[in-house]
Amino acid sequence: MPRSRNVANRALLAVAGAALLCAGAWALTGNSAVRERLPRGLPAMEPGPLLPGHGVLDGARAQGWWTPSVIAALSLVLLALVWWLLAQVWTRRPGVLPLPRPGVGLRAGALARAMAEQTERLPDVERARVRISGRARRARAAAHGQPPPRGPPAPPPP
């Protein structure tokens, strides 16, 4: 998976996890047994229903800042989700690499397999993996080789 996808997935998972953790902790403070053990200065949820009633929402809507704030927050969430979706769909792996002859190309997967086989023939390489990324005209190859297993590591020098 490309690095941009990893970063996007981990960032969104971290934000979602932090939001759920905070919401769960806040909801937990509504329990009287938990509320009694909290420090006095820490804000806690008042006992009663978890979701606000119609009177509370109508009072919040009457203030001028409520509606724009909700719209702005939901717009940011929507933009983050669209960014995440585009990071999932968009790949930078070329399918076919053009060769100097017109109409002739080389599949990137075939080239990666051939490079991995050649790398595995080197001494002290047990297994190799090659990934080709970038654009078709400016492709890059990243090769990762795994050495064969050895005996136990030597003790550190004194």
Of 110, 91, 84, 83, the closest CA to residue 99 belongs to 110
The least confident of 14-18, 46-50, 82-86, 130-134 is: 46-50
pLDDT digits over 108-139, tens only?
A: 999 999 999 999 998 888 899 999 988 878 88
CA distance 134 to 70: 40
pTM score, whole prediction: 0.44
The answer, yes or no, to whether residue 1 has pLDDT greater than 70, is no
More confident residue, 78 or 135: 78
Decide the pairing of beta strands 139-146 and 96-98. unpaired
Mean of the per-residue pLDDT values of the chain: 81
Q: Which two tokens stand for residue 142?
A: 């990243």
pLDDT digits over 6-31, tens only?
A: 777 788 888 888 998 888 887 777 77
Confidence band of 49 (pLDDT split at 50, 70, 90): low
Can you give the pLDDT at residue 135? Answer: 81
The letter for the amino acid at 72 is A
Confidence band of 43 (pLDDT split at 50, 70, 90): low
Can you give the pLDDT at residue 120? Answer: 92
Can you give the pLDDT at residue 117? Answer: 95
The answer, yes or no, to whether residue 158 has pLDDT greater than 90, is no
The answer, yes or no, to whether residue 145 has pLDDT greater than 70, is yes
Burial code of 73-109, b = ≥16 C-beta within 10 A, e = fewer?
eeeeeeeeeeebeebeeeeeebeebeeeeeeeeeebe
